[in-house]
């Protein structure tokens, strides 16, 4: 019987990498290696890959740009399925259809080129549309779920492709019904006609405002904690006097306390210790249990 490594190499060739450093892949720029990294290009390849994973009972994880995760320093002993080569975009009138690995920045450029408005609020978010839908990305009063017509996804357990209309889907604050048993494949979005010049100005303003308030140009994974309604996580953390506190080469941002930044040489364990400290201090002072917005991958202690 062929080994899993031989099968993956045979099927994906140059799109298969062994012992890939996830410190290069993720926006936190820390963490250990993935045993295997695979870049599928089609949904059929995803199905074949899941069959291989099931055959060898191997752990796997689906990643877009790796912007909302913290990988442990010991890495991930399994297969990382990267969606970054699944990035087709098409348009019909004001309806855009895009694959899960489409970068939000590329989607916004496509919208500009076709004078379509409605997604400007996603400006400055460094991830993919698949991640944005799974986590219902947005602002206080604008959410990606409001623009969705339909979502096609693979039910990983049954290897069945399902299409759901927006009214059939559940979305809430920073979450959706999709989990590790679903592979989001294709999203249909309903936009409106706009003027290119006006759209460019909207996007420029959104990015400038984010730069002022958030460390978006630094090594970070975005907001670490969800806002515990009716409070804001950043405000609670700031009131605990934690802005600027550091462990190793990682620190709690002085721009926005709900961001942890890696100066470049930080370890995942440094970030995790800061996460634990924040949770502890906020619990002690406000009796609030902060819930992580990022995903922890691998072993932490």
Structure tokens given for 160: 């069945």
Q: Model confidence over 158-181: pLDDT tens digits? A: 999 999 999 999 999 889 999 999
Is the preceding omega at residue 230 within 30 degrees of 0, hence cis?
A: yes
Any idea what DSSP says for residue 129? H
Distance of CA 105 to the CA centre of its chain: 13
What's the confidence (pLDDT) of residue 223? 95
CA–CA distance, 285 with 83 (Å, rounded to integer): 41
Q: Specify the CATH number of the domain 89-211.
A: 3.30.465.10
Where does the chain hold its CATH 3.90.78.10 domain(s)?
A: 215-294
Catalytic residues: 174, 223, 293
What's the confidence (pLDDT) of residue 127? 93
Sign of CA dihedral 98, 100, 101, 104: positive
Where does the chain hold its CATH 3.30.43.10 domain(s)?
A: 4-82
CA–CA distance, 13 with 39 (Å, rounded to integer): 10
What's the confidence (pLDDT) of residue 140? 77
Where does the chain hold its CATH 3.30.465.10 domain(s)?
A: 89-211
What is the pLDDT tens value at each position of the chain, 301 positions in all?
689 999 999 999 999 999 999 999 999 999 999 999 999 999 999 999 999 999 999 999 999 999 999 999 999 999 999 999 999 999 999 999 999 999 999 999 999 999 999 999 999 888 999 999 999 998 878 999 999 999 999 999 999 999 999 999 999 988 999 999 999 999 999 999 999 888 999 889 889 988 999 998 899 999 999 999 999 999 999 999 999 999 999 999 999 999 999 999 999 999 999 999 999 999 999 999 999 999 999 999 8
Q: Specify the CATH number of the domain 4-82.
A: 3.30.43.10
Q: Are the C-beta atoms of residues 80 and 39 closer than 8 Å to each other? A: no
CA–CA distance, 113 with 124 (Å, rounded to integer): 18
Give 3-state DSSP helix, strand, coil % of the chain, rounded to 5. 35, 30, 40
Q: What residues form DSSP beta bridges with 151?
A: 164, 187
Any idea what DSSP says for residue 128? B
Q: Does domain 215-294 have CATH number 1.20.1250.20?
A: no
What's the confidence (pLDDT) of residue 1? 61
CA–CA distance, 119 with 226 (Å, rounded to integer): 22
What's the confidence (pLDDT) of residue 141? 83
First to last CA, the chain: 37
């Amino acid at each position: 019987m062929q080994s899993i490594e031989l099968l993956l190499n045979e099927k994906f060739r140059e799109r298969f990498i062994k012992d890939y450093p996830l410190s290069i892949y993720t926006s936190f720029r820390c963490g250990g290696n993935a045993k295997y990294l695979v870049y599928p290009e089609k949904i059929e390849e995803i199905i074949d890959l899941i069959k291989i994973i099931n055959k060898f009972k191997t752990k796997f994880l689906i990643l877009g740009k790796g912007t909302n995760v913290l990988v442990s320093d010991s890495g991930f002993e399994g297969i990382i399925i990267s969606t970054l080569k699944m990035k087709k975009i098409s348009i019909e009138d004001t309806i855009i259809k895009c694959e899960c690995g489409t970068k939000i920045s590329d989607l916004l450029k496509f919208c500009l080129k076709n004078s379509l408005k409605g997604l400007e609020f996603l400006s400055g978010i460094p991830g993919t549309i698949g991640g944005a839908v799974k986590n219902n990305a947005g602002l206080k009063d604008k959410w990606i779920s409001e623009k969705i017509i339909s979502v096609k996804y693979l039910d990983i357990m049954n290897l069945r492709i399902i299409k759901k209309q927006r009214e059939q889907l559940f979305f809430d604050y920073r979450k959706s019904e999709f989990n590790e048993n679903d592979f989001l494949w294709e999203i249909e979005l309903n936009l409106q006609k706009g003027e290119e010049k006006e759209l460019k100005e909207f996007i420029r303003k959104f990015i400038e405002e984010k730069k002022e308030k958030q460390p978006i140009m630094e090594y970070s994974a975005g907001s670490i904690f969800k806002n515990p309604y009716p409070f804001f996580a950043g405000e609670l953390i700031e009131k605990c006097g934690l802005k600027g506190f550091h462990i190793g080469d990682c620190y709690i941002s002085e721009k926005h306390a709900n961001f942890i930044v890696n100066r470049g040489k930080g370890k995942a364990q440094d970030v995790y210790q800061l996460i634990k400290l924040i949770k502890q201090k906020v619990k002690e002072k406000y009796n609030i249990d902060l819930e992580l917005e990022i995903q922890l991958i691998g072993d932490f202690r």
